[in-house]
């Protein structure tokens, strides 16, 4: 009893599913029985009729509209491959492949409706009813599906077939989302992913130097991922998208007009489209209606050769379109197979009847559309005779010159056949299944074919390697086509103008022959599609607030920068030794400058320095020649000789500042200048202070003579100079100066000396100025001493000049640059040196050479005596004034007459105190041989007033 119940239950299930087999799925199909069954999904129609399903009655299946001749050719390619395999004696011998092919109508709903029939048939086979009934007449399971075409349809179908591990090989679905093997476990394809096509499209835009484009994509799994990848590529290439929109073939008319307005008003002339032919067709029609002819269209592979838009009547707008096409393959015998199609010969292919009617614009007698004809919907069509010649009509169906998608279908069928062949020839123990077992080809299941496909590795007829393992993708090989108008009949011609290929090892390669491209309007020059005019060399792109980066203003490069090409984003900085030319298009070597011996300024300074050396040497020669004359003797000739030598060193040190600075010159010139000047100022200081102390001493003693001996004078000069020497030694040890190239000045490289330590230079000049200040103080105090003897007034004046020069030098030194720094210091050295030489020695040389009568001992004595007389008189007056004050305070009536005497040793002899002078006698001055004697006495009797 239980046995009969179980049998009855299975019988009911069998009857139920048998009914499903006969009625479920699209009624129109192409099918053939065989040992192994393959499924097929092709877009025989472009879409479905829009029908409002209000659910007032039982919903009816939507009607497919707009026949797709290319889709039917793809279907024929699958049938041709299966027939070729069945007729092969080497591939799957004694095994017949069958097929069940449905129309997806390029929509997801129809694709799922067809896929459910594959799944239902496989579930019946999984019940294993052979033990209860003879099921040999049943249709076998579908072990693999070829299709679908659109990525949106393939995505939905892949979700369904993946649940049952039915392998699916698409021939045209290129969405990069389908590369996710974790989500789409059983999906494979014989077309490259759109990720490569997006890169290729961006590469073409970059190739033609466009940076302002419009991006349009289908609002589905094909367009959205493709345009997303395209946007990323554009961003990395600094190309801007002015308008980015999604479209669909079902977009309403108002929205389409609004989109066309935005495109027409955009300044971007390039329109990149990732869409299928049916999706882009409504927009193309609207652009043709408006006659918008100034645009460049970039077509993705899905519509680059679509018969919906590649029409002669659209070429005024769409001419010059650049599109991508898959690399064509060669299928021998396929041309003849396509021409053999006929309704009477293809009883198993129900799509042939509609194809015949659409091709010849007629209807067959037993066609289901005949009823519509009687109702008047197709009354304009004549009755088909069946004798029409398919070769006499030009349709996309017979366009077999470039088999691209059709070849992908051919490869997909052969891939499945190759996997079945591997199962057939499997050696037990070396199989892919548990314990190395092999599948039974007579009872093979879909999951076993999927396992075999994942390990498939074969070469197709054009030499490309086909693999379906995880992570593998076909290499992208695209042919770049350009839409031309045929001169014979005005039809659309797809001219090959280049190619784009990506290989993992060799990278990407783009090749375009611009001479073959014919732009819209029969132009040969590349159209302009940039947000801003290109910037000429010498300028750069400047950002405009509120605008994309591709919209810019041309800004001239700054001085010292250049740009040698158009549309430079930034100006390049010239090397340190170069500077930009007038128009900032290139750099030239900077001129190297320093205080040169050959330039007029350097020659003038050198001549003045040499003149100073010669004049000082001349004065030194005069002093040596007349060293025994009174003026030379009275000038402390030993110190004068040393002073003149130091002046020669001062003049000579200025020459080290002229010429190209070298390290040794930089280390030598400041110490040479500083030590020479300190030696000079030290001589003047010691000399001036000695005379001052001698003349202010009332009674010279042996202590004065010992203190101011010649040895001590030289010792003081040495000590003063030694301090400066130590400053220079410390400076050169810790921070030695060196040669330095200053690149900061425009167009010029100044070679100067880096002083190493400005503090050390400040100490050097400061110490010199300190000695000069002390010298000025002593010279100012002794300015009224006998001028022929000390020339104090001239020393005071020379020190004033010295201070003026060096006080002016400090700001001038820090405010100048380059060679002028050295020039300023040379001028300061020469000015101060000439002032010392002229003020101290020129008057003496003048007397020695031109006024020898004044160079006598009497002249010196007279000037000395006059000074002594004045000094004694002033001293007596001061004492007399002090005595009167004291007398007034004690009431005295008279004051004694003071007397003064000055005793002085000259030439080693001392004078005795002069005798008292009689009342009324005039002052007397007497001179002895080698001795100067001076006595002054006077009395002044004053009467005190009596109060």
Asked if residue 373 belongs to a domain, the reply is: no
Scanning the structure block, which residue is given the tokens 């470039």? Answer: 402
Q: Say if 725 falls within a structural domain.
A: yes
Q: Name which residue leads in pLDDT, 835 or 274.
A: 274
Lowest mean pLDDT among 475-479, 821-825, 888-892: 888-892
The enclosing H or E element of 741 equals: strand 738-742
Q: Residue 493: what are its φ and ψ, rounded to 5°?
A: -115, 130
The residue that leads in pLDDT, 736 or 473, is 736
Look at residue 328 in the predicted model and tell me its pLDDT: 82
pLDDT over threshold 60, residue 13: no
- Indicate whether 769 pLDDT > 50: yes
Q: Name the pLDDT band for 800 (thresholds 50, 70, 90).
A: confident
State residue 308's pLDDT score.
Answer: 87
Residue 423 and residue 409 in one domain: yes
Instruction: Check residues 916 and 258 and name the one with the higher pLDDT.
Output: 258
Q: Is the pLDDT of residue 9 over 50?
A: no
H helices, E strands: number in the chain:
26, 30
Q: pLDDT: is 586 or 805 the higher one?
A: 586
pLDDT score recorded for residue 331: 87
The answer to whether residue 246 is domain-embedded is yes
State mean pLDDT over 175-199: 89
In this prediction, what percent of the chain has a pLDDT beyond 90? 26
Average pLDDT over residues 670-683: 86
SS3 content of the chain, % helix, strand, coil (to 5): 45, 15, 35
Q: Tell me whether residue 15 is exposed, middle or buried, using C-beta atoms within 10 angstroms of its C-beta: 0 to 12, 13 to 18, 19 or more.
A: exposed
Q: Residue 151, exposed/middle/buried by CB under 10 A (0-12, 13-18, 19+)?
A: buried
| Residue 228's CATH number | 3.40.50.2300
Q: Is the pLDDT of residue 905 over 50?
A: no
Q: Write out pLDDT tens, residues 202-219.
A: 999 999 989 899 999 999
Q: Which residue has the higher pLDDT, 693 or 183?
A: 183
Checking if the pLDDT of 67 tops 80, the result is yes
Burial level of 195, CB count in 10 A (0-12/13-18/19+)?
Answer: buried
Q: How many other C-beta atoms are found inside a 10 Å radius of the C-beta of residue 764?
A: 22
Terminal Cα-to-Cα distance of the chain (whole angstroms)? 180
Q: What is the C-alpha to C-alpha distance for residues 100 and 121, in angstroms, rounded to an integer?
A: 11
Cβ-based neighbours of 366, under 8 Å, separated by 6 or more = none
* Predicted pLDDT of residue 10: 44
- What per-residue confidence (pLDDT) applies to 707? 52
pLDDT, position 171: 93
**322 and 405, same domain (yes or no):** no
Check if the beta carbon of residue 661 is closer than 8 Å to that of residue 739. Answer: yes
For residues 290-319, average pLDDT: 91
Instruction: Please report the DSSP string for 619-682 in residue order.
Output: HHHHHHHTTTSHHHHHT-HHHHHHHHHHHHHHHHHHHTTSSS--HHHHHHHHHHHHHHHHHHHH
Domain end among 462, 490, 523: 462
Confidence at residue 864, expressed as pLDDT on a 0 to 100 scale: 59
pLDDT at residue 771, as a whole number: 83
Among 824, 840, 870, the domain-final residue is 870
- R_g over Cα of the chain: 58
Residue closest to 552 by CA, chosen among 538, 540, 561: 540
Q: How far apart are CA 46 and CA 71, in angstroms?
A: 9
Question: Do 95 and 126 share a structural domain?
Answer: yes
- Rounded distance between C-alpha atoms, residue 158 and residue 170, angstroms: 10
Q: How far apart, in whole angstroms, are the C-alpha atoms of residue 474 and residue 491?
A: 33
Residues 324 and 336 in one domain: no
Length of the chain: 947
3-class DSSP state of 490: coil
Do 228 and 354 lie in one domain? The reply is no
> What sign for the dihedral angle of Cα 543, 545, 548, 553?
negative
Closest among 745, 366, 825, 371 to 576, alpha carbons compared? 745
The tally of domains found in the chain comes to 4
Tell me: pLDDT of 101 over 90: yes
Torsion of CA 559, 564, 569, 570, to 10 degrees: -30
Least confident piece of the model among 75-84, 319-328, 364-373:
364-373
373 vs 756, residue with greater confidence? 756
Residue 933 belongs to a domain: no
Q: Is residue 504 part of a domain?
A: yes
Question: In the 8-state DSSP scheme, what is residue 944?
Answer: P
Q: Does residue 76 carry a pLDDT above 90?
A: yes
Task: Name the domain boundary from 554, 589, 624.
Answer: 589
215 in any annotated domain: yes
Q: Which of 178-182, 334-338, 495-499, 929-933 has the lowest mean pLDDT?
A: 929-933
Q: What is the mean pLDDT of residues 660-668?
A: 85
Same domain, 185 and 199: no
Same domain, 294 and 389: no
Confidence of residue 5 (pLDDT cuts 50, 70, 90): very low
Residue 938 has a pLDDT of 35
> Is the pLDDT assigned to residue 942 strictly greater than 50?
no
**Omega before residue 148 within 30° of 0, cis:** yes
Whole-number pLDDT of residue 854: 77
Structure tokens at 78: 């699958």
Cβ atoms 657, 669 nearer than 8 A: yes
pLDDT of residue 929: 36
Among the listed ranges 129-143, 319-333, 553-567, 617-631, which one has the minimum average pLDDT value? 129-143
Highest mean pLDDT among 75-89, 586-600, 817-831: 75-89
Q: Are residues 549 and 663 in the same domain?
A: no
- Taking 50 as the threshold, does the pLDDT of residue 943 lie above it? no
pLDDT, tens digit, 9 for 90 and up, residues 387-443: 888 888 888 888 777 788 999 999 999 999 999 999 999 999 888 898 889 999 988
**Range from 64-73, 329-338, 369-378 carrying the lowest mean pLDDT:** 369-378
> What Cα–Cα distance (Å) separates residue 197 from each residue in 82, 512, 711?
30, 16, 101
Mean pLDDT of the chain, nearest integer? 79
Report whether pLDDT(295) > 60. Answer: yes
- Average of per-residue pLDDT across 721-730: 89
The range of the structural domain enclosing residue 699 comes to 600-870
Task: Verify that 572 and 605 share a domain, yes or no.
Answer: no
CATH of the domain at 656: 1.20.1070.10
**pLDDT tens track for 111-160:** 999 999 888 876 665 545 445 455 444 567 899 999 899 899 999 999 99
Question: What pLDDT shows up at residue 488?
Answer: 84
Look at the block and give the residue holding tokens 């040969």: 524
**Same-domain status, 37 and 161:** yes
Question: Do residue 486 and residue 584 come from a single domain?
Answer: no
Q: Is the pLDDT of residue 871 over 60?
A: no
Distance CA 832, CA 827 (A): 8
Question: Does one domain contain both 792 and 661?
Answer: yes
Closest CA relative to residue 651, chosen from 623, 624, 596, 614: 614
> Residue 934 falls within a domain, yes or no?
no
pLDDT score recorded for residue 849? 86
Tell me if 801 is assigned to some domain: yes
Q: How far apart are CA 535 and CA 556, in angstroms?
A: 9
C-alpha distances in Å from residue 53, one per residue of 49, 61, 90, 114, 667? 12, 10, 53, 21, 101
Overall average pLDDT of the 874-886 stretch: 66
Transcribe 117-132 into DSSP letters: HHHHHHHHHTT--TTT
Residue 788's pLDDT is: 45
Segment 344-377, tens digit of pLDDT: 877 778 899 889 988 898 888 776 655 544 444 4
Read off the pTM.
0.62
């Amino acid at each position: 009893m239980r046995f009969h119940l179980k049998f009855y239950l299975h019988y009911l299930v069998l009857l139920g599913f048998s009914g499903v087999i006969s009625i479920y799925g699209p009624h129109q199909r192409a099918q053939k029985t065989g040992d192994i069954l393959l499924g097929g999904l092709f877009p025989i129609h472009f879409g479905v009729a829009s029908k409002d399903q209000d659910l007032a009655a039982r919903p009816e299946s939507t009607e497919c509209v707009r026949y797709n001749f290319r889709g039917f050719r793809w279907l024929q390619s699958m049938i041709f491959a299966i027939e070729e395999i069945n007729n092969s004696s080497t591939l799957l011998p004694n095994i017949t492949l069958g097929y069940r092919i449905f129309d997806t109508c390029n929509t997801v709903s129809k694709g799922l409706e067809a896929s459910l029939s594959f799944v239902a048939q496989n579930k019946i086979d999984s019940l294993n009813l052979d033990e209860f009934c003879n099921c040999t007449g049943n249709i076998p399971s579908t072990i693999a599906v070829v299709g679908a075409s659109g990525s949106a349809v393939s995505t939905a179908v892949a979700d369904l077939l993946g649940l049952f591990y039915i392998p699916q090989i698409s021939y045209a679905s290129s969405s990069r989302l389908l590369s996710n093997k974790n989500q789409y476990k059983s999906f494979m394809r014989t077309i490259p992913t759109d990720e490569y096509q997006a890169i290729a499209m961006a590469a073409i835009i970059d190739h033609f130097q466009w940076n302002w484009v419009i991006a349009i994509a289908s609002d589905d799994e094909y367009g959205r991922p493709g345009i997303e990848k395209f946007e990323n590529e554009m961003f990395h290439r600094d190309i801007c998208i002015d308008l980015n929109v999604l479209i669909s073939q079902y977009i309403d008319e108002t929205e389409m007009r609004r989109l066309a307005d935005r495109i027409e008003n955009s300044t971007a002339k390039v329109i990149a489209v990732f869409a299928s032919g049916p999706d882009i067709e409504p927009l193309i029609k609207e652009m043709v209606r408006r006659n918008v002819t100034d645009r460049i269209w970039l077509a993705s592979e899905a519509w680059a050769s679509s018969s919906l838009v590649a029409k002669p009547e659209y070429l005024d707008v769409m001419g010059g379109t650049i599109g991508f096409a898959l690399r064509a393959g060669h299928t021998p015998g396929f041309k003849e197979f396509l021409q053999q199609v006929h309704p009477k010969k293809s009883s198993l292919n129900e799509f042939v009847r509609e194809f015949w009617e659409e091709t010849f614009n007629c209807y067959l007698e037993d066609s289901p559309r005949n009823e519509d004809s009687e109702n008047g919907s197709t009354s304009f069509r004549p009755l088909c005779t069946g004798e029409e010649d398919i070769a006499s009509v030009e349709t996309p169906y017979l366009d077999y010159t470039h088999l691209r998608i059709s070849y992908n279908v051919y490869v997909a069928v052969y891939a499945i056949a190759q996997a079945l062949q591997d199962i057939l020839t499997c050696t037990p123990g070396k199989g892919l299944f548990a314990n190395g077992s092999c599948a039974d080809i007579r009872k093979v299941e879909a999951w076993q074919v999927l396992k075999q496909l994942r390990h498939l590795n074969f070469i197709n007829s054009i030499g490309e390697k086909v693999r379906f393992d995880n992570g593998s993708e076909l290499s992208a090989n695209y042919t770049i086509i350009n839409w031309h108008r045929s001169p014979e009949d005005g039809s659309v011609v797809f001219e090959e103008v280049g190619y784009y290929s990506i290989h993992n090892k060799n990278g990407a390669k783009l090749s375009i022959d611009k001479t073959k491209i014919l732009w819209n309007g029969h132009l040969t020059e590349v159209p302009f599609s940039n947000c801003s005019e290109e910037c000429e060399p010498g300028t750069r792109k400047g950002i405009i607030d509120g605008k994309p980066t591709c919209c810019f203003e041309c800004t001239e490069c700054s001085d010292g920068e250049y740009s040698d090409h158009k549309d430079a984003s930034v100006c390049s900085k010239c090397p340190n030794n170069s500077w930009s030319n007038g128009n900032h298009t290139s750099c030239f070597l900077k001129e190297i400058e320093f205080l040169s011996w050959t330039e007029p300024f350097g020659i003038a300074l050198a001549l003045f320095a040499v003149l100073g050396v010669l004049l000082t040497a001349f004065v030194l020669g005069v002093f040596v020649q007349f060293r025994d004359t009174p003026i030379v003797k009275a000038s402390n000739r030993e110190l004068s000789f040393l002073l003149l030598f130091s002046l020669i060193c001062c003049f000579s040190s200025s020459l080290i500042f002229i010429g190209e600075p070298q390290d040794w010159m930089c280390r030598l010139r400041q110490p040479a200048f500083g030590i020479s000047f300190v030696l000079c100022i030290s001589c003047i200081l010691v000399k001036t202070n000695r005379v001052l102390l001698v003349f202010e001493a009332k009674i010279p003693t042996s202590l004065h003579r010992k203190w101011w001996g010649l040895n001590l004078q030289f010792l003081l000069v040495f000590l003063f100079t030694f301090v400066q020497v130590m400053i220079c030694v410390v400076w050169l040890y810790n921070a030695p100066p060196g040669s330095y190239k200053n690149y900061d000045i425009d167009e010029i490289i100044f070679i100067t000396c880096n002083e190493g330590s400005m503090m050390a230079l400040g100490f050097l000049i400061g110490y010199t100025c300190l000695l000069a200040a002390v010298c000025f103080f002593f010279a100012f105090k002794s300015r009224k001493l006998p001028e022929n003897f000390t020339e104090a007034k001239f020393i005071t004046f020379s020190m004033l000049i010295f201070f003026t020069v060096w006080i002016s030098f400090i700001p001038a030194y820090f405010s100048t640059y380059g060679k002028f720094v050295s020039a300023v210091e040379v001028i300061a050295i020469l000015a101060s040196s000439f002032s010392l030489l002229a003020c101290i020695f020129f008057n003496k040389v003048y007397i020695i050479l031109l006024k020898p009568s004044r160079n006598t001992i009497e002249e010196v004595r007279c000037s000395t005596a006059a000074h002594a007389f004045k000094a004694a008189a002033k001293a007596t007056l001061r004492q007399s004034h002090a005595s009167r004050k004291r007398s007034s305070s004690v009431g005295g009536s008279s004051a004694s007459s003071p007397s003064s005497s000055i005793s002085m040793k000259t030439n080693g002899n001392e004078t005795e105190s002069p005798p008292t002078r009689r009342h009324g006698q005039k002052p007397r001055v007497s001179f002895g041989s080698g001795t100067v004697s001076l006595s002054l006495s006077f009395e002044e009797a004053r009467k005190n007033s009596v109060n």
